[in-house]
Amino acid sequence: MEDNSGHDDSTARVNDSSIAGGISRRLLMKGAAALGAGSLVSTSSVSAAEEGQQEESTLAEAPPMGWNSWNTFACDVSAALIKETADAIVESGMKAAGYEYVNIDDCWMTEERDEDGNLQPDPEKFPNGIDAVADYVHDRGLKLGIYESAGTTTCGGYPGSLGHEERDAQAFADWGVDYLKYDNCGDHYGLSAVERYTRMHEALEATDREIVLSICEWGNNDPWLWGHEVGGSLWRTTGDIKPLWTVDEDTWYHGVIDIVDMNEPLAAHAGPDHWNDPDMLEVGVDIDGYPGLTATEDRTHFGLWAMMAAPLIAGNDVRNMSEQTREILTNEAVIAIDQDPAGKQGRRIKNTDGADGTEVWMKPLANGDRAVALLNRGERTRPILTSAREVGFDVESAYIARDLWAGTVTATAGMIGASVPAHGHKLYRVERGQSDDAVPAALLSINTDEPTVVPGEARDLTVTFTNHAPSALETVSVTLDAPDGWESEPATATFHDVAAAPSIEGASGPENDAEVDWMVRPPQGIGSGEYELAVSAEFAGRPVSTTVDLTVDAA
Report the catalytic residues.
Answer: 183, 240
Instruction: Please work out, in degrees rounded to the nearest 5, the angle formed at the alpha carbon of residue 266 by the alpha carbons of 293 and 432.
Output: 80
- Whether residue 378 contacts residue 358, with contact meaning beta carbons closer than 8 Å, is answered with yes
Distance (Å, whole) CA 551 – CA 451:
6
- Whether residue 511 contacts residue 416, with contact meaning beta carbons closer than 8 Å, is answered with no
Identity of residue 398: A
* Residue 354 neighbours by CB under 8 Å, 6+ apart: none
Distance (Å, whole) CA 512 – CA 119:
69
Locate all alpha helices (DSSP H) within 286-407, ordered by sequence: 295-307, 323-329, 332-338
Locate all alpha helices (DSSP H) within 104-230, ordered by sequence: 129-139, 165-175, 193-205
Among the listed residues 516, 547, 551, 520, the one whose alpha carbon sits nearest the alpha carbon of residue 534: 547
Distance (Å, whole) CA 533 – CA 449:
15
Identity of residue 350: K
Distance (Å, whole) CA 58 – CA 374:
33
Among the listed residues 233, 368, 399, the one whose alpha carbon sits nearest the alpha carbon of residue 311: 233
